[in-house]
Amino acid sequence: MSASSSAAAATTTVTSPSIVFLLRRNSGDPALAWRLFKHLSSSFPSSALSASSVSAISGILARSGMLAELHHLRHLILRHPSPSSSSSLAALARSSSHFYNSLIRSSLRLGRPDLVQILYRDLLLSGATPNVQTLNLLMLSLCNSGHLDDALKVLDKMPQKGSQPNEFSFGILIRGYCRAGRADQALEVLNRMGRQGCTRNLVVYNTLIAGFCREGKLPEAESLVERMREDGLFPNVVTFNARISALCKAGRVLQAHKILRDMKEGGGDFALPRPNQITYNLVLGGFCKEGLVEESGVLVEEMRRDGFFTQLESYNIWLSGLLRNRRLFEATKLLEQMTMDGLEPSLHSYNIVIDGLCKQGMVSSARSVMNLMRERGIFPDVVAYTSLLHGYCLKGMVKSANWILHEMVINGCFPNAFTCNILLHSLWKEGRVWEAEMLLKKMNEKGYGFDIVSCNIVIDGLCRHGKLDKAIEIVNGMWLHGTAAFGELGNAFLGLVDDRNDSMKCFPDLFTYSILINGLCKAGRLDEAKKKMIEMLGKKITPDVVIYDTFIHGFCKHGKISSAFKVLRDMEKKGFQPSTKAYNLLIWGLGMKNKIDDMHNLIDEMHKKGVNPDSTTYNNLIQALCEGGMVGRAASLFDEMLKRGILPKLASFSLLIKAFCKEGEFDAAQGIFQTGLATFGEKESLYCLFSDELCRYGKVVEAKELFEISLARGFIVENFSYRCLIEELCKVNRVADAHCLLIAMMSRGSLLDPAAFMPVIDALGKDGKKFDADKLSERMMDMAARQDDESYNEVSHPLRHVIGSKTRVHGDEGTRKDEWHAVLNRYVTNIPPNNKSPPLPRKYEGDTKSLFIRNPS
């Protein structure tokens, strides 16, 4: 309906109900409804500006987010009073809380909490009475802005204003406290609900349970679940998902998986809710985070069977987990599988791959994936380029990282301040000050400015390079001159900053002081660090848990355990709940002093105060026990760790296996190894660890057998100390076994260290097996040629490149190259006089060809 035709219709019927009908009829087109209302309000103000008409149009505008029109309506009401006092427009404004509620709700939807305060004051000045909905919206605005204490005051005053709080009032405040990490105060609000006769519902309970879970306070969450049942409520899938999420974040993924199993089976005293997509995704993410790749794979297959592995989010979680755990071949196959399943990898999927490869140091592979994206019509965004730039920075390839900035602009993807700050951090980390200055100049030219993050990067760079005094001097100057204080670094910095506008000045913040205090603590300048803490408080900057942990670490590192404990007690006095990390640092410090009993006492204190020990807590104590020769007690502690449902890290198994092997208790070490396999599955790192330790302590035959099993399982050869194993086999006259291992590894296409060949070649020569020695020498030369051939490792197809790069992850390539060149030089100088020149590397043909083909899988 057009505005003109609507107006024509309105001329015949100008009653308020008919106007409301016309407005609602055109509510699908809010702009048209607004034009109609303005026309009618000018022609028939007494009817159009009635309470019902204003309520109808304000609702339409609020739902559409038309904030400017709502403010226009407000001015229209207040500026055009009707001749009749009974229908005065000002009186209408005073009586219509619904109108103000619409304005406030629209302001919240548009993220303008500042307008909420103005509107609420305007409501009070107009004489209108706020109802419970108005006060709830005000509380929501205050909670979203972080003013929780003010929101609590609103709740306290609601009965005085004639509006009893309802379940939404309490729910808003509970949600606000939980979001701010203040679940204990949210619990007090829950208790208050019951005292004021307001019904506690499932949503409120779930919000609070999720809050406790996010803070790692699982006992409190468990007690709330029991309390729900007492109130006649039964936990639903949202409740269980919150618990599972918290367990996974705490590393207790096996316990989380058990809950998933119970939910699926539906057993127990109560009928449990069935798991949903979110439940499976949480457990899958937990498995991937903890490196339980085999278990993750089993869960993925289960999700496929149950119809829960159909969303892109699940694929992305599994993809990220594979890359995090170096399963590059499986990750590339998953990308192909996604397409086969009708799910085209999204930009986020490719970003996961690029980020994962860059974190593995495989930047050239990430570049190839980026090329593949373009071929498929997906163009890299700032996230992809930033990951690539970060990857170059991690490898110290700052020039290549700098080129990424140019490439981004050329391709129409402009870097943001975060991207530039990553490169700036890398330049300062390497002490390349001049290049950092040039980058800062470019940032200013592009309008990114010299923000507090950039300032903190420069200060961190100074601290890293031992220029603590200069960093302190600049921070002191920042309070007076803002970023102009950085001019102290050199004339070039003077042109990079402009503090004429006080609003643009950068003053030190919490992170600035964290950097300084950390640098001072590392340097042993603990008294100066304490002075900086006092300075912070004087500047109204409240220290956080990280700064307290920094002090604890600094005191423990320098042997001042009593001072570290004083920091812990001071934390508690200031209302901070000491974290698991704080206790772990103290336990680590006690371990360096070999105070075993005190370490046990501190773990008991953790349990009493509701701070959950993690694998690091137990590892610190296990390490102290092992170093003190108390391996039996360490093993008992390991059992306790498993009983408590705390998933051990690889370090836990490493400590015990090494300790038992050192004591000569190889059967006990074998038991720990088998426990590791039962916990993690057939994990390569466990085989690698145990095989190397057996070899170290003379169990060469057992080490060889374990290494052969590893070969059969397709593990990466380069992760094992195979060179040491071959040398030890030759020393105990098992040359044939060493020779067979070399042949087996080459048949897999492994890129071996040529130095590993020499003990076998020497031993074969001494045994008079010249033909075998020469044959092996030729293969050694071939292997050396392969390592020299850089093109062998750069395969054009991105998926092949990912597979082929697995063998180049470990070790310093430059060091290894120098090492095997020395071996080859030794081989050449030992050539018998009748040989005029060393044998040339053979081409990959005939029988030899199969030795250099990569693993077919």
* pLDDT winner (highest mean) among 424-433, 534-543, 641-650, 678-687: 534-543
pLDDT for 6 beyond 50 = no
Task: Report pLDDT digits (tens) over 166-180.
Answer: 788 788 888 888 888
Does 1-128 match 236-343 in CATH topology?
yes
Give pLDDT, residue 69.
73
Residues in the chain: 857
8 A C-beta contact, residue 715 and residue 806: no
The count of other CB atoms within 10 Å of the CB of residue 580 is 16
| Distance in Å from the first CA to the final CA of the chain | 67
Residue 46: pLDDT band with limits 50, 70, 90: low
Every domain of the chain and the residues it spans: 1-128, 130-229, 236-343, 346-413, 416-508, 716-857
- Percent pLDDT > 70 in the chain is 75
Q: Which residue has the higher pLDDT, 340 or 286?
A: 286
Q: Which pLDDT score, from 0 to 100, does residue 801 have?
A: 36
The pLDDT score that the predictor gives to residue 847 is 32
Could you report the per-residue pLDDT of 408-461, keeping only the tens digit for each? 778 877 777 777 778 778 777 777 767 777 777 776 666 665 678 878 888 888
Please, are residues 726 and 755 in contact by the beta-carbon 8 Å criterion? no
User: Cα separation of 43 and 61, whole Å?
Assistant: 21
Q: Which residue has the tokens 């130095």?
A: 755
Give pLDDT, residue 854: 27
Assigned architecture for domain 236-343: Alpha Horseshoe (1.25)
pLDDT range class, residue 387, cuts 50, 70, 90? confident
Which residue has tokens 């590893």?
Answer: 710
Query: Between residues 695 and 105, which one has the greater pLDDT?
Result: 695
pLDDT exceeds 60 at position 611: yes
Closest CA to 211 of 233, 239, 191: 239
> Which region among 272-286, 405-419, 599-613 has the lowest average model confidence (pLDDT)?
405-419
For residues 512-525, average pLDDT: 90
Structure confidence by residue, pLDDT tens digits, 816-833: 444 434 433 443 334 344
Q: What is the pLDDT of residue 481?
A: 73
Mean pLDDT of 186-201: 78
Query: What mean pLDDT comes out for the span 23-39?
Result: 78
Q: How far are the Cα atoms of 63, 121, 153, 174, 317 from residue 139, in angstroms, in the given order?
A: 20, 14, 9, 11, 37
Whole-number pLDDT of residue 483: 65
Q: What is the arithmetic mean of pLDDT over 124-137?
A: 72
Residue 237's identity, in one-letter code, is: V
pLDDT in tens, 477-497: 888 776 666 665 654 454 445
Spell out the residues 6+ positions from residue 530 whose beta carbon is closer than 8 angstroms to its own.
551
Evaluate whether 193 touches 205 at the Cβ level (below 8 Å): no
Please tell me the least confidently modeled range out of 223-237, 567-581, 729-743: 223-237
Closest listed residue to residue 36, CA positions, set 7, 76, 77: 7
The pLDDT, as a whole number, for residue 516 is 92
pLDDT for the residue 62: 66
**Residue 109's pLDDT is what?**
67
> What is the Cβ-side half-sphere exposure of residue 293, based on CA atoms within 13 angstroms?
16
Q: How far apart are CA 270 and CA 146, in angstroms?
A: 39
- DSSP letter for 431, please: T
Measured CA to CA in angstroms, residue 779 lies from 185, 557, 782, 808, 826 at distances of 71, 50, 5, 20, 16
DSSP 8-state secondary structure symbol assigned to residue 307: T
Q: Can you give the pLDDT at residue 412?
A: 78
What is the C-alpha separation between 155 and 165, in angstroms, rounded?
7
Tell me which fold the domain 130-229 belongs to. Answer: 1.25.40
Write the pLDDT tens digit of every residue in 802-814.
333 333 333 343 4
A 10 A CB-CB count for 530 gives: 16
Q: What pLDDT shows up at residue 221?
A: 80
* pLDDT of 604 higher than 60: yes
Confidence of residue 789 (pLDDT cuts 50, 70, 90): low
DSSP 853: S
Smallest CA-to-CA distance from 496 within 431, 429, 451 is with 451
pTM: predicted TM-score of the whole model, two decimal places:
0.53
Residue 793 vs residue 629, higher pLDDT: 629
Per-residue confidence (pLDDT) for residue 86, from 0 to 100: 35
For residue 111, the 8-state DSSP code is T
| Least confident among 98-112, 221-235, 253-267, 839-853 | 839-853
Alpha-carbon distance of 791 to 742, in angstroms, equals: 24
pLDDT band (50, 70, 90) for residue 837: very low
Between these two residues, 120 and 805, which has the higher pLDDT value? Answer: 120
Burial class from Cβ neighbours inside 10 Å (0-12, 13-18, 19+) for residue 627 reads middle
**Is the pLDDT at 855 greater than 60, yes or no?**
no
pLDDT at 22 over 70: yes
pLDDT band for position 741 (50/70/90)? confident
Average pLDDT, the chain: 75
Confidence class for position 517, pLDDT limits 50, 70, 90: very high
Q: How far apart are CA 780 and CA 757, in angstroms?
A: 6
Q: What's the pLDDT score for residue 125?
A: 63
The answer to whether residue 96 scores a pLDDT higher than 70 is no
Write down the pLDDT at residue 107: 66
Q: Are 106 and 67 in contact (CB under 8 A)?
A: yes
- Domain boundaries 1-128, CATH class: mainly alpha
Q: Which two structure tokens, joined as six digits, stand for 383?
A: 């996230």
